[in-house]
Amino acid sequence: MGGVFLLFIAGIIKLAHLVHSIFGSANMDISDPEMLMARLRAENLTLLWAMAGLFILLWVYSVVDAYMGGRRIDEMEERDLPS
């Protein structure tokens, strides 16, 4: 749970930095989508992609862990039930 929170906060900070760097210059024409896309393509998004990958890995781990934990609980309940 803490890892998800840290990745979420780090992602928000990175996105805020990205938006600030794209719209930071005073001569930026917001109505020109081609200029926006050119500036977005010029940014380094490696860290953002890495955080997204870590988030996906953490999510997959939590789903598998919950499934395995549920199976263990079911097995324990089946053993404890009288036949």
- At residue 26, the pLDDT reads 64
Give me the pLDDT at residue 37, please: 83
Listed in sequence order, the DSSP H helices in the chain are 2-23, 33-42, 46-80
Contact call for residues 41 and 18 (beta carbons, < 8 A): no
Longest Cα–Cα distance of the chain, Å, equals 78
> Does the pLDDT of residue 24 top 80, yes or no?
no
pTM of the complete model: 0.66
pLDDT at 68: 95
Higher-pLDDT residue of 81, 55? 55
Q: Residue 82: CB partners within 8 Å, gap ≥ 6?
A: none
pLDDT score, position 5? 85
Where in the sequence is the domain holding 48, given as residue range(s)? Answer: 2-80
**Given this model, what pLDDT does residue 77 score?**
85
Residue 58 identity (one-letter amino acid): L
Q: What pLDDT, on the 0 to 100 scale, is given for residue 69?
A: 95
Structural domain total, the chain: 1
